Amino acid sequence: MPDIESLLKEKRIFKPDSQFTRKANWNKKVAAEYRKLGEKNPQLFWAKMAKEHVSWFTPWKKVLDWKPPYAKWFVGAKTNVSYNCLDRHLEGDDAWRRNKAAIIWEGEPGDSRVITYAELHREVCRFANVLKARGVKKGDRVVLYMPMIPEAAVAMLACTRIGAPHSIVFGGFSAEALRDRVVDAGAKLVVTSDGGFRKGEPFALKRQVDAAVDGVAAVECVVVVRRTGQDVEMRSGRDCWWHEEMATASTKCPPAKLDAEHPLFILYTSGTTGKPKGVLHTTGGYLTHITTTCKAIFDLQETDVYWCTADVGWITGHSYVVYGPLACGATAFMYEGVPTHPGPDRWWQLIAKWGVTILYTAPTAIRTFIRLGDEHPRRHDLSSLRLLGSVGEPINPEAWMWYHRVIGRKRCPIVDTWWQTETGGIMITPLPSSVPTKPGSATLPFPGIQAAILSEEGEEVEPPNGGLLAITHPWPGMLRGIWGDEQRYRDTYWSKWTNTYFPGDGAHRDKQGYFWIMGRVDDVMNISGHRIGTMEVESALVSHNSVAEAAVVGRPDEITGTAIVAFVTPTGDTESSDALTSVLKTHVTAEIGAIARPAEIRFTNSLPKTRSGKIMRRLLRNIASGDELAGDTSTLEDFSVLASLRESDEG
């Protein structure tokens, strides 16, 4: 099978700002030293990071025990994530952080709370004691099904404090999807809320939990946070109110001294197809990975107000909303609601109100704001921002440029990051102090991460040709398996090549060694013998000023093997028409070549996405080919999108 061809040509480059570099945690000299060490001896690099960024109760006897495909990091060491996120900021030279804001939170209705490190510590200890009083012991699994409220972070940290692995299920999932995850994890206790607020209306969560755990004998208790005040059924002997339990709980709860490889959390991911799989992460290596990347990539300073917009139900929320920032002693901002309520400028109003300095969000959000128009962010003072980040999927170069120009006002570095639920932390990224950036490129592997572009046969692909992204050496944040399914773990991630992790993405490197992620290999299209990634065709479409968002898939074609079908969301008041179709086809041809010219363009007001914002191209392939929808759709955000696309197809 030929390599994936790279057609997109991006020549714009942005050098690090000298003033930013001088003040950065990792200046050019430090970054160069760490990169050199990480390439020469990854284990030594990560051992150094573990000493610098993590507090240990017991030191390790061995940095890495690698028995493919299983790794153990910091063998013999003991630590605790809750201790690293809380207690150590209240002790010794760092005790001044007691009164520093750990979490700033705003609810969608406009209510807000500022929680200091000392207050958060007390709340976490209280809830850890509630868990213990309800029979939760070290090793027992706890499922969290909650809105974006501070109690979600409290519950996470309380679980880690006593060594109870948590599994967070995003609050938008159905009762059936929740039940599958509760049963698979063997959860003993569920933490939920009466509901939350979304688009100005309360939505129910407790009702979903009742349906999900009905008849599940393993679940002994459901703890309910009162958020919206809506009526809920409380089952006697099983259900209890958070506030009532917390009122009598002690504020003293020593952190458990846990092995570095003690299970920290299970996070279920369906990827693009199939039955959800429980990705398992452990304690010491994961904590080392996320604290190091937080310090280096986001350049966290004591005065920062850091906002990662992800929900805690996703890996980004685990690593870069709660655990990473708090372990670094930062101030993390959390917001409950949607970006566009009560108006399209809600995010920009929040940034101005709270003085947010770092914004880390997804390309799908950026594209939504592009479609809404520049006037909304320009209405607000965004001068507090000093660094921007992108996460979740490859960002189109033109979306990158809009982010740089309109949100960053041409002065904020952008860190475009590639990583996955399975990797635990960021893997490929710019270092804002030292790596020149190119719109659309995640640039270089983080120090200590060894990545390559390989062919199907495992041979390294020479730039600028494309191939399959591979991680060739273990890293500390890596998944330790799939919960209860060892064979699936081996088959999914380790079966393509010997002792090499396959993340499922296509990519290429340019002559400067920069990585360009080209999308999921499942989405690669074979056009007349040419293998073309969806990301490059989508980027060409989005580069036209009439297009806000695009998704590209292939459908069977008798002549070319596969024909390109593009689903396009026009900008603003742009009217879809045959003339626009012709213009866009010509534009793609001019941008990247005739081979990538779409055979068909369909206009739509929205695209089918997961609740984390990723476009579900698998469903679009079904629609483009006229097939029945197949596979797991539990992560789909809005089913009405599929209905409207079907109607347009039939029309």
pLDDT over 90 (residue 594)? no
Tell me the domain boundaries of the chain: 8-446+487-500, 524-650
Q: Return the DSSP state at 97.
A: G
Class of domain 524-650: alpha beta
* Pick from 79-88, 328-337, 446-455, 504-513: least confident: 504-513
The confidence score (pLDDT) of residue 577 equals: 85
Q: Distance (Å, rounded) from C-alpha 132 to C-alpha 161?
A: 11
Give residue 605's pLDDT band: very low, low, confident or very high (50, 70, 90): confident
pLDDT tier for residue 631 given thresholds of 50, 70 and 90:
low
CA distance 598 to 577: 15
C-alpha separations of 120 from 68, 134, 419 in Å: 39, 21, 29
Report pTM: 0.85
- pLDDT tens-digit profile of 84-96? 999 999 999 999 9
Per-residue pLDDT band at 651 (split at 50, 70, 90): very low
Summarize pLDDT for 159-173 with one digit per residue, the tens. 999 999 999 998 888
Given a contact cutoff of 8 angstroms between Cβ atoms, the answer to whether 565 and 598 are in contact is yes
Say if residue 28's pLDDT is above 70.
yes
- Cβ atoms of residues 276 and 634 within 8 Å: yes
Verify cis geometry, omega within 30 degrees of 0, for the bond prior to 464: yes
Phi, psi dihedrals of residue 364, rounded to the nearest 5°: -65, -35
Question: What is the arithmetic mean of pLDDT over 252-276?
Answer: 86
**Helix 28-40 to helix 42-53 angle, to the nearest 10 degrees?**
130
Fold observed for domain 8-446+487-500: Rossmann fold (3.40.50)
Tokens of 395: 């960002």
Q: Is the pLDDT of residue 617 over 70?
A: yes
- Banded model confidence at residue 300, pLDDT cuts 50, 70, 90: very high
Asked if pLDDT for residue 55 goes beyond 60, the answer is: yes
| Statement: residue 118 has pLDDT above 80 | yes
Where do runs of H (alpha helix) occur along 510-613?
Answer: 534-542, 578-592
Q: CB within 8 A of 484, min separation 6: which ones?
A: 184, 278
Local structure of residue 255 (DSSP, 8 states): P
Is residue 290 within 8 Å of residue 320, measured between CB atoms?
Answer: yes
What average pLDDT does range 529-556 have in this prediction? Answer: 81
Q: What is the C-alpha to C-alpha distance for residues 433 and 19, in angstroms, rounded to an integer?
A: 9
Mean pLDDT of 129-137: 98
Is residue 264 classed as helix, strand or coil in its secondary structure?
strand
Query: How much is the CA Rg of the chain, to the nearest whole Å?
Result: 24
When mean pLDDT is compared across 136-150, 333-347, 539-553, 583-597, the lowest value belongs to: 583-597
Average pLDDT in the chain: 91
Q: Name the percent of the chain lying above pLDDT 70.
A: 91
